A and B are shown apart, each in its own frame.
Chain A
Amino acid sequence: MTKEELKPILEVLIFVSEEPIKLKHLYEILADEEPAEINLAVQELAQEFNSREGGLEMREIAGGWRISTRPQYHEYIRAYLKTKPSAKLSLASLETLAVIAYKQPVTIPEILEIRGVSSSSAIKTLLDRRLIVPKGRKECVGRPVMYGTSKEFLIQFGLKDLSELPSIEDFEELATT
C-alpha cells in the first residue's frame, strides 16, 4: 500500500477508536505494512488533518492518536449536549495530584512531607476519579502503598506521556518570585 492509500485507513481507525489508538494497534491491523511506513503516514496525516484548521484536531494523547474537537468550540458543543463541565477538582486535590505526578511512585507520608498537610481525602477523590492508581508497596517499615498517575490522568490532562509535563524545575523561578 502506498502512503496515500494508508492515510485514509489510518484516519478512519483513529476516528472509530474509543480511546486514543496506539501505533502498536495500528501495526496489528495493518499487519502487511511496514511499521515505519505507518509511522510516517500517521505523522503526515496529522499534519494534513490539523492544517485544515477545522473544528477537529488529531492529537497524540496517552500514547495513542485521537481525533477530538478543538477546545475553542466548547460553547456550541455544550449548548448541543446540554451538559456542564464536570465538577472541578479542588486545589487540594490538584496539589496532591501534582505531587504524585512529579514524584511517582510516592507514598502518602511522602506526600504529607511536601504538602505539610495530610492528603487522605484528596487521595480518595483522585482514586475515585481514576486519576491515580496504586503502584505496589514501598519496601520500608509499614510497606506503605505507592501511588502513581493513570492513563486517565494523561487523557484528562491532554498529555502525550508523562515527559510532556513541564519539568518541576521550571517552577523554581515561579516559586522564588
Chain B
Amino acid sequence: MVLEVEAIENGSETEPQANGYKVKLEVFEGPLDLLLYLIKKEEIDIYDIPIARITQQYLDYLSLMEQFDVDIASDFLVMAATLIQIKSKMLLPPDPTISGQEEAVEDPRKELVNRLLEHKKFKAAAEMLWTKVQVEQEVFTRALLDIDKENTEIAATVYDLIAAFKTVCDRQREEQEMEIAHEVMTMEQKMEELKALFTDSLEVNISRLFALAKSRTDLIMTFLTILELVKESVVRLIQDRPFGEIIAIKR
C-alpha cells in the first residue's frame, strides 16, 4: 500500500526507497487530524463513514508510521481501539431484546462523527485566528515614550551639587567653633570610606556624606571624592525635584 501524502509542515520526506516508492509522510497533529485527512482523501461523507474501510486505512497508516520510525503517540492507539470497537459494534445485529419498533438505535459512529465535526470547527476557527494575526502583525503603534514612571527623577547638575556643598560648608562654619588639625586623608582613603557607606544601603543622602566630614579640608576632600566616584561611575546622583536633596545611588 502506498500513501502518497503531500508533506505540509515538518513533514518527513524520505529518499526513494529500494523498491522505488517515494513516500511522503505528513506528520499529523493527532488522530482526529489523520481521520479527517483520510475522510477527505477518500471523499467520504462524514455522516456516513464506511467504518471498516476507514479503520483499515487508519491502521495501515499507523504501521507505515512505525516503519518509518515515527513515534506513534498513545492518542493514535486509543483512536485505533475506538475505531475497532465501533466496527465490531456495527457488525453485531441490533440487540433483539430492545423492541424493533424503536428506530432510534444509536449509530455507534455518532459520537466519533460529533467529535470530528467539533474538531473541524476548531480547525476552521484556528485558520480564522491565523488570518487575523497575519493582519494584526502588520499593524504598528507609536513607540513607547521614554518615560520612566517609577523614577521621576531629574539628573542633578554639578551646580546643584555645588549648592548642596555650599549649604553644608556654611553650616559647618557655624557649628565649628574651633578647628583641630586632623590627619589629612588622601582621596584613595576617602574613597574607601565613602564606598563603605554604600555597603548597607545603596542610597545615601549627599548631605549625610558632608556631615561626616571632620574639617573643611575633609569636607573639600569629600566633595572631590564624590565627583570622582561619579566620574568613575561608582555612584550616580539624583535629585527627585528641583532644589531637593541629592541622593547618591550606587550603580
Chain A interface (Cβ < 8 Å from any Cβ of B): 15-16, 18, 66-72, 74, 77, 81, 85-86, 88-92, 94-95, 97-99, 101-102, 113-118, 156-159, 166, 168, 171-172, 174-176
Residues B137 and A116 in contact, CB atoms below 8 Å apart: no
Complex formed: what's the CA distance from A166 to B141 in Å?
25
Shortest Cβ distance from residue B175 to the other chain A in the assembled complex, whole angstroms = 50
CB-nearest residue of chain B relative to A86? B137
CB-nearest residue of chain A relative to B120? A175
Decide: A171 near B140, CB < 8 A? Known: A89-B133, A117-B29: no
Chain B positions 89-144 with a Cβ under 8 Å from a chain A Cβ: 115, 117-130, 132-133, 135-142, 144
Complex formed: what's the CA distance from A171 to B119 in Å?
11
Complex formed: what's the CA distance from A70 to B136 in Å?
9
Residues A68 and B139 in contact, CB atoms below 8 Å apart: yes
**Chain A interface mostly helix, strand, loop or mixed?**
helix
Shortest Cβ distance from residue A130 to the other chain B in the assembled complex, whole angstroms = 14
Residues B126 and A117 in contact, CB atoms below 8 Å apart: no
Residue count of chain B within 8 Å CB distance of chain A = 37
Complex formed: what's the CA distance from A90 to B46 in Å?
26
Shortest Cβ distance from residue A122 to the other chain B in the assembled complex, whole angstroms = 10
CB-nearest residue of chain A relative to B140? A69
Q: Does chain A have a CB within 8 A of B73?
A: yes
Q: Does chain A have a CB within 8 A of B1?
A: no
Residues A68 and B140 in contact, CB atoms below 8 Å apart: yes
Shortest Cβ distance from residue B132 to the other chain A in the assembled complex, whole angstroms = 5
When A and B form their complex, what is the total count of cross-chain residue pairs whose Cβ atoms lie within 8 Å? 122
- Not counting A157-B129, A158-B136, A175-B124, a sample of 18 additional A-B residue pairs whose C-beta atoms are within 8 angstroms of each other reads A15-B142, A70-B139, A71-B138, A74-B137, A74-B138, A85-B137, A85-B138, A91-B9, A94-B129, A114-B119, A116-B33, A117-B31, A117-B75, A158-B139, A159-B132, A171-B128, A172-B121, A176-B120
Complex formed: what's the CA distance from A67 to B122 in Å?
31
Shortest Cβ distance from residue A77 to the other chain B in the assembled complex, whole angstroms = 5
Residues B125 and A102 in contact, CB atoms below 8 Å apart: yes
Residues B119 and A115 in contact, CB atoms below 8 Å apart: yes
Q: Does chain A have a CB within 8 A of B158?
A: no
- Give the chain A neighbours of B140 by CB distance below 8 A: 68-69, 74, 77, 81
Complex formed: what's the CA distance from A166 to B131 in Å?
13
Shortest Cβ distance from residue A158 to the other chain B in the assembled complex, whole angstroms = 4
Residues B31 and A116 in contact, CB atoms below 8 Å apart: yes
- Give the chain A neighbours of B137 by CB distance below 8 A: 74, 85-86
Decide: A71 near B135, CB < 8 A? Known: A98-B125, A98-B129, A102-B125: yes
Residues A66 and B121 in contact, CB atoms below 8 Å apart: no
Decide: A168 near B125, CB < 8 A? Known: A116-B32, A117-B75, A176-B117: yes
